[in-house]
Amino acid sequence: MTEQIGFFLLSWLDPSLLALTAAGTLAGIYIGAIPGLSVTMAASILISFTFTWEVNAALALIAGVFTGGVYGGSRSAILLNIPGAPAAIATALDGYPLARRGEAGVAIGLSTVMSVIGGFVGIIALAVAAPVISDFALLFAPRDYLLLAVMGLLLVGTMSGESLAKGLFAGALGVALGMVGLDPMTAEGRFTLGTVQLMAGIPYVAAMIGFFGVSEALVQLHNLRVKPVKQDVSRIVPPWHLVRKYLPLSLRSSLIGVVIGALPGTGGDIAALMAYDQAKRTVKNPSRPFGEGAYEGLIAPESANNAAVGGAYVPMLTLGIPGDAVTAVIIGALFIHGLKPGPMLMIETPHLFWFTVGNLTLANIFLLVFGLTGIRAFAKLVECPPSVLIPLILVLSVVGTYAIQNSVVDVYFMLGFGIFGYLLKMYGFQVGPVVLGMILGPMIDVSWRRAVISVGDDLGFFVEEAFASPLTLVLLAFMSFLLLSQVPFGALWRRLRGQPPG
Amino acid sequence: MMHRRMLLGGLAAAPLLGATTARAQAFPSRDLLGVIQWGAGGATDVTGRAVTPHVEAALGQKIVLQNRTGGTGAIGLTYVHGLPSDGYTLLYGAENPLLYKVLNISRLDYTDFTPICLLARSVPVIVANKDKPWNSLKELVEDMRRNPGRIRMASTGPGGQAHVVSTMLASTGPFRHISIPFDGEGPGLTALQGGHADWMTVGSGAVAEHVRAGRVKALAVFNDAPLPSLPNVPPATADYPELARLMPWGSFYGVWAKKDIPAEAREKLVAAFRTGTANPQFTQLMTGNGNVVMNTSGAEAEAFLARWQSVTAWILQEAGAARTDPATLNIPRPS
């Protein structure tokens, strides 16, 4: 036990490791905040960079960047409506309306505290229950991923805005866009028009930046003469009673984050979206309606995406299976440093486990410090006149998109989606469901096909297997509940009887 | 205003200046770009990132690595092909492009490139879920013959290691199984451990630790001799000696440049990679993980690639999995 505490405190007591974790967290916040720069990219660059270092130093730096980066995405989502990373898409839904109300400071402060709470829940889950969670994650069969993705797609209902029909159209459009590229199962080209550029598909980060950032900038052109909203920066650290009030929601969302993060096929983006959906369904009296600046709509995704960080480490440290793209890179880093990532890692190098737990804890403490400082300057950014802010958003969008994979084609896509998104918004369509469809559509596609291939196209066998699995049954029951609880049976019954609704 | 014009003039002149000095100085006079065909954390990526620092030391310049994924590697290959043939862009690739034309994935493949160095190859290991009754490759294959269309294999898509090895196994006598495509070896191995697939073929590097921990059961290595990293796992030739004609077979990782780069650049690159790949730190890393270090270039590498392509393309053609007949592509039948 004392030995484990020693490993846990390794990076707390060693000044150079302490400094590296701090530097990583700070750098991560800015990498996360700039759309297009991703944590995966930063981590893989760090591997080449830290090749000659000691492995502990490299891991400390990466843990900091990971923690900071997942949080950083919320900054640009709240201030500019450009999610800095896919994990911050859900944050933009209520975060940006808060900034437009002059509450950017409160929003950033609250998202910082909730991210840290989520981060700690993830770490506790990792430290206490890692083997149990990773065994649970292995239970998910292709059909269960299908159910998860379909549940995620039900979010279209909550993201549709004024018209469900328009929301469904936008969601379906996103699914279709997500299908572009080589079929992941047969390598057959789909909608590629015979060009190589389309073979890798349309990067959904480019679409995300276009649909959220550029289209919002274009919408802003309509009210150039409107004076920017004055930002209230008198209170940055959220009052204790607010934190305590939202703690249960934050914990609930964090648990979703841990599980979704630990699943090898899903990461922080889906965790945040599902947590947002959960909040919208369970919170009876939100501070404001969702989508108009509800604190709940900010807290749920921000807790969940940081909890997903701890979750992603779970299968990586216990089984050598990456929980997401970043942990896949970390596995590569361990390998290059001569360690053997795999199921024996925890047995043969137990210090690595507690070192990582200690590191993540430290990174979250730094996150709290860095996250709560400098908010004032950031919040004032939104007070810039449109003539400064709009070009800034456009430049950031172009640079960020180019940075994804140094491709000009992606920039054209991004600009095209920006203009298209502007037109959609003008006609009352929401752009959120499009991006949601692009993320979940491909997951539904491959999970469904894998599930059907698994049973040799035998539907009877499919049903038999699904009913033999308690996990599938629970997911199925939960999804049915989600669907049925939203159906207005009373009104339907009255309509069938020919009575006027009322 | 004057200032701005001067600045712009200076910027415009900069590339010209760079070009002239590059011509005057010996290769390499600036950083190189290494494009990795596959994603961060995968075998191609890890092998490439592990060797590059040693190559940089021999070359005296940095190699900036970048992952360009998608289209089973075709995106990265096409990207490098579109850049100038000056020797400053390298392609870090795997075996897949050798099958692009047979599987109709891309019209470009390694025939437009020259191998700078084949770094290492992995040996396929046939593994099963640990609760399955099979204890040898023969038991698995015979069970698949007894229960056609019931046993599930995790695959990595057409032309992938699992697909080709199962086709090769079926050349000993046909069997029918379910083949579920996953996004890569890692996700396939995850599904195998969760019981959602019964068996699969994985590269030795990716699976060695899982075998050692007893999370999966290794039935055979697809080689004509046991591997030093998995000494207790029998070779596939123990059950099926006729498979020996197809070996050695498996994924491999290497570095390519465009065919028409200057001879001087090619020689420097080949020499630097030869030195880098021979670095004991790299070789230990590779062998420790069950890979076989190749470190081959020139005619030897060309011969290896030609044989690999011929063996694989024709086994796919015989199984009806090829989309373009290798004969029409002038790929000779294996001798």
Q: What is the pLDDT of residues B134-172, one digit of tens each?
A: 999 999 999 999 999 899 999 888 778 898 999 999 989
In the predicted model, what is the mean pLDDT of chain A?
A: 87
Residues B46 and B131 in one domain: no
Token pair, residue A186, equals: 């047969």
In whole angstroms, give the CA distance from residue A119 to residue A306.
5
Asked if residue B152 is part of any domain, the answer here is: yes
**Residue of chain B whose Cα is closest to the Cα of A140:** B194
Among A329, A340, A446, beta carbon nearest to B41: A329
Question: Higher model confidence: residue A132 or residue A47?
Answer: A132
Asked if residue A309 is part of any domain, the answer here is: yes
Distance (Å) from the alpha carbon of A442 to chain B's nearest alpha carbon = 12
Q: Does the pLDDT value for residue A101 go beyond 60?
A: yes
CB contact under 8 A, B42 and A332: yes
Token pair, residue B192, equals: 């195998």
In whole angstroms, give the CA distance from residue A361 to residue A297.
25
Give kind and range of the element (H or E) at residue B258. strand B252-258
Asked if residue B306 is part of any domain, the answer here is: yes
Average of per-residue pLDDT across B295-310: 94
Q: Does the pLDDT value for residue B15 go beyond 70?
A: no
Task: Band the pLDDT of B328: cuts 50, 70, 90.
Answer: very high
Residue A314 pLDDT: 92
In whole angstroms, give the CA distance from residue A55 to residue A282.
44
CB contact under 8 A, B181 and A141: no
In whole angstroms, give the CA distance from residue A288 to residue A299.
13
Q: How far is CA B295 from CA A315, A498, B261, B276, B318, in A?
A: 34, 81, 21, 9, 32
Residues B256 and B114 in one domain: yes
Structural domain boundaries, residue A108: 2-150+207-403
Residues B178 and B210 in one domain: yes
In whole angstroms, give the CA distance from residue A93 to residue A74.
11
Residue A501 pLDDT: 53
Residues B192 and B257 in one domain: no
Residues B184 and B278 in one domain: no
Asked if residue A500 is part of any domain, the answer here is: no
Asked if residue A492 is part of any domain, the answer here is: no
Report the DSSP pairing between strands B32-36 and A189-190.
Answer: unpaired
Task: Band the pLDDT of A122: cuts 50, 70, 90.
Answer: very high
In whole angstroms, give the CA distance from residue B285 to residue A62.
22
Residue B153 pLDDT: 96
Contact status of A178 with chain B (Cβ, < 8 Å): no
* Percent with pLDDT over 70 in chain B: 93
Task: Band the pLDDT of A500: cuts 50, 70, 90.
Answer: low
Average of per-residue pLDDT across B207-224: 91
Q: Computed from CA positions of residues A126, A132, A133, A135, in that sequence, does the dihedral angle turn out positive or negative? A: positive
Residues B186 and B214 in one domain: yes
Residues B255 and B296 in one domain: yes
SS3 A290: coil
For A:251-280, CB contacts with B below 8 A are 264-265
Average of per-residue pLDDT across B118-135: 95
DSSP string, B274-304: HHHHH-HHHHHHHHHTTEEEEEE-HHHHHHH
Asked if residue A190 is part of any domain, the answer here is: no
Number of domains in chain A: 1
Asked if residue A36 is part of any domain, the answer here is: yes
**Residue of chain B whose Cα is closest to the Cα of A195:** B106
Question: Higher model confidence: residue B114 or residue B187?
Answer: B114
Tell me if the bond preceding B28 is cis, omega within 30° of 0: yes
In whole angstroms, give the CA distance from residue A127 to residue A119.
12
Question: Higher model confidence: residue A231 or residue B2?
Answer: A231
SS3 B34: strand
CB contact under 8 A, A322 and B186: yes
**DSSP-assigned beta bridge partners for residue B121:** B252, B292
Burial class (CB in 10 A: 0-12, 13-18, 19+), A202: buried
Q: What contacts A115, CB < 8 A, 6 or more positions away?
A: A70, A71, A74, A302, A303, A305, A306, A367, A371
Q: B32, B193, B253: best mutation site toward chain A, by most A Cβ within 10 Å?
A: B193
Among B46, B78, B193, beta carbon nearest to A335: B46
Distance (Å) from the alpha carbon of A209 to chain B's nearest alpha carbon = 20
Give the amino acid at A268: G
Give kind and range of the element (H or E) at residue A103. none
In the predicted model, what is the mean pLDDT of chain B?
A: 87
Average of per-residue pLDDT across A168-196: 86
**Residues in B touching A335 (Cβ below 8 Å):** 46, 50, 285, 289
Tell me if the bond preceding B248 is cis, omega within 30° of 0: yes
What's B86's domain CATH number? 3.40.190.150
Where is average pLDDT lowest: A246-250, A440-444, A496-500, B132-136?
A: A496-500
Contact status of A328 with chain B (Cβ, < 8 Å): yes
Check: CB of residue B170 under 8 Å from CB of residue B201: no
CB contact under 8 A, B71 and A196: yes
Among A315, A336, A454, beta carbon nearest to B50: A336
Residue B21 pLDDT: 47
Task: Band the pLDDT of A377: cuts 50, 70, 90.
Answer: confident
Number of Cβ within a 10 Å radius of residue A428: 10
Task: Band the pLDDT of B252: cuts 50, 70, 90.
Answer: very high
Q: What is the pLDDT of residues A183-238, one digit of tens each?
A: 877 777 888 887 777 777 888 888 988 998 899 889 888 877 777 777 777 777 88
Contact status of A201 with chain B (Cβ, < 8 Å): yes
Check: CB of residue A390 under 8 Å from CB of residue A226: no
CB contact under 8 A, A51 and B49: yes
Q: Pick from B246, B270, B292: which residue ends a domain?
A: B246
Contact status of A193 with chain B (Cβ, < 8 Å): no
Q: How many A×B Cβ pairs under 8 Å?
A: 148
In whole angstroms, give the CA distance from residue A325 to residue A40.
6
Where is average pLDDT lowest: A371-375, A426-430, A471-475?
A: A371-375
Q: Which residue has the tokens 């699995």?
A: A469
Token pair, residue A150, equals: 């379909």
Structural domain boundaries, residue B220: 124-246
**Residues in A touching B78 (Cβ below 8 Å):** 196
Closest CA to A271 of A313, A319, A324: A324
Q: How far is CA B85 from CA A5, A362, B255, in A?
A: 55, 48, 15
DSSP state, B136? S
Q: Does the pLDDT value for residue B4 go beyond 70?
A: no
**Residues in B touching A442 (Cβ below 8 Å):** none
Complex ipTM: 0.83
**Residues in A touching B71 (Cβ below 8 Å):** 181-182, 187, 196, 199-200
Q: Which residue has the tokens 């003539």?
A: A387
Q: What is the pLDDT of residues B50-104, one digit of tens each?
A: 999 999 999 999 998 888 877 778 888 988 998 889 999 999 999 999 998 998 8
Asked if residue B15 is part of any domain, the answer here is: no
Give the amino acid at A351: H
Asked if residue B18 is part of any domain, the answer here is: no
Q: Does the pLDDT value for residue A349 go beyond 70?
A: yes
Q: Does the pLDDT value for residue B20 go beyond 50?
A: no
Residue B7 pLDDT: 41
CB contact under 8 A, B186 and A453: no
Contact status of A185 with chain B (Cβ, < 8 Å): yes
Residues B54 and B196 in one domain: no
Q: Does the pLDDT value for residue B35 go beyond 70?
A: yes
Give the amino acid at A390: I
In whole angstroms, give the CA distance from residue B235 to residue A406.
44
Residues B187 and B287 in one domain: no
CB contact under 8 A, A456 and B78: no
Q: Which residue has the tokens 């698994």?
A: A454
Asked if residue A119 is part of any domain, the answer here is: yes
Number of Cβ within a 10 Å radius of residue A429: 23
CB contact under 8 A, A52 and B40: no
Average of per-residue pLDDT across B215-222: 94
Q: What is the pLDDT of residues A258-283, one digit of tens each?
A: 999 999 878 888 999 999 989 988 88
CB contact under 8 A, A342 and B208: yes
Residues B217 and B130 in one domain: yes
Question: Higher model confidence: residue A71 or residue A34?
Answer: A71
CB contact under 8 A, A51 and B53: yes
Asked if residue A426 is part of any domain, the answer here is: no
Q: Which residue has the tokens 């939202």?
A: A246
In whole angstroms, give the CA distance from residue A166 to residue A149.
21
Asked if residue A104 is part of any domain, the answer here is: yes
Please give the model's pTM, rounded to 2 decimal places: 0.84
Number of domains in chain B: 2
Residue B12 pLDDT: 42
Residues B255 and B114 in one domain: yes
Asked if residue B23 is part of any domain, the answer here is: no
Among A336, A342, A453, beta carbon nearest to B209: A342
CB contact under 8 A, A342 and B65: no
CB contact under 8 A, B41 and A182: no
Asked if residue B25 is part of any domain, the answer here is: no
Q: A138, A180, A346: best mutation site toward chain B, by most B Cβ within 10 Å?
A: A138
DSSP H helices, A179-320, are 204-208, 215-220, 240-262, 268-282, 295-319
What's B236's domain CATH number? 3.40.190.10
Residues B72 and B142 in one domain: no
